[in-house]
């Protein structure tokens, strides 16, 4: 037993959309608005999956889409927002009018990553690439195999599939997952100044105390008030 498919795959078109399909979708949405995507294809006379219709509309047919190259200003805003939000493309797209999450994701992967690397910045962490990081990133293979024996004392990989043949197992990498409040030893200039600050400010209200989300009650152990200036402590939810 499993999840029921979102559509009958045997009777749906796949691949590139034709002009006629686009026209059908546009005229249907203009007449009826965005509604139930699952029933839309049938109602619009399209042999498409509802998800496919939604994607086509959002990423390509929507009238408010901005077409054309990204501006330098948009580039910088994306970089700043990515540093703050990570791969939350839909949130980033929400701050760039006329741009879609898919478009930004593609643009990130094809242009901005390269741009940051050329600046010597790690596109994942947004920190300068150190020699060690560079060596790590450029390593031809990184062994991800789980050691077959419990003996990890020598910090070597014993997997046959590992071509490293006992190469160092990157023992310096701490892969423990933890959640903690960000901490600055001294006030720092916000990296989200200028455009990004206005963008972030725009998504600030209503604010949610992160301590509360972690289970504290009534402000117990909550330090948000005293650290109000630290933007990253307070997460905001878009409406």
Partner DNA sequence: AATCCCCGCAACCGCCTCCGG
Partner DNA sequence: TCCGGAGGCGGTTGCGGGGAT
Residues that bind DNA (CB under 7 A): 3-4, 6, 9, 13-17, 35-38, 48-52, 54-56, 59-60, 87-91, 101-103, 105-107, 109-111
210/197 Cα distance (integer angstroms):
20
Min. distance of Cβ 66 from DNA in angstroms?
12
Q: Using alpha carbons, select from 102, 96, 100 the residue that is nearest to residue 75.
A: 96
CB of 94 or CB of 147, closer to DNA: 94
Min. distance of Cβ 155 from DNA in angstroms?
27
Min. distance of Cβ 9 from DNA in angstroms?
7
Q: How far apart are the first and last CA of the chain?
A: 36
Min. distance of Cβ 86 from DNA in angstroms?
8
CB of 3 or CB of 217, closer to DNA: 3
113/107 Cα distance (integer angstroms):
9
202/235 Cα distance (integer angstroms):
12
CB of 139 or CB of 208, closer to DNA: 208
CB of 48 or CB of 80, closer to DNA: 48
User: Encoding tokens for residue 217?
Assistant: 């009650």
CB of 37 or CB of 136, closer to DNA: 37
Min. distance of Cβ 106 from DNA in angstroms?
4
Q: Please name the residue ranges forming H helices in the chain.
A: 19-32, 40-44, 50-56, 72-85, 89-94, 101-107, 113-118, 131-137, 194-202, 210-213
CB of 110 or CB of 149, closer to DNA: 110
Min. distance of Cβ 185 from DNA in angstroms?
31
3-state secondary structure of 236: strand
Rounded to whole angstroms, what are the CA distances from 195 to 36, 68, 74, 100?
36, 21, 10, 19
């Amino acid at each position: 037993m499993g999840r029921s498919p979102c559509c009958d795959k045997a009777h749906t078109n796949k691949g590139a959309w034709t002009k006629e399909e686009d026209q059908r979708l546009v005229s249907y949405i203009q007449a009826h608005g965005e509604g139930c995507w699952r029933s839309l294809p049938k109602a619009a006379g399209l042999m498409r999956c509802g998800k496919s219709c939604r994607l086509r509309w959002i990423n390509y047919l929507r009238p408010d889409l901005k077409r054309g190259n990204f501006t330098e200003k948009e580039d910088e805003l994306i970089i700043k927002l990515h540093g703050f939000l990570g791969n939350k493309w839909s949130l980033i797209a929400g701050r760039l009018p006329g741009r879609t999450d898919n478009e930004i994701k593609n643009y990130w992967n094809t242009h901005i990553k390269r741009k940051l690397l050329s600046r010597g910045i790690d596109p994942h962490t947004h920190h300068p690439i150190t020699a060690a990081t560079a060596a790590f990133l450029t390593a031809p293979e990184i062994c991800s195999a789980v050691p077959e024996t419990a003996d990890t004392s020598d910090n070597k990989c014993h997997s046959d599939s590992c071509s490293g043949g006992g190469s160092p197992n990157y023992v310096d990498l701490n892969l423990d997952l933890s959640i903690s409040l960000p901490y600055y030893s001294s006030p720092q200039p916000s990296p989200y100044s200028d455009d990004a600050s206005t963008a972030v400010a725009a998504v600030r209200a209503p604010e949610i105390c992160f301590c509360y989300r972690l289970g504290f009650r009534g402000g117990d152990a909550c330090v948000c008030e005293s650290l109000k200036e630290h933007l990253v402590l307070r997460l905001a939810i878009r409406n």
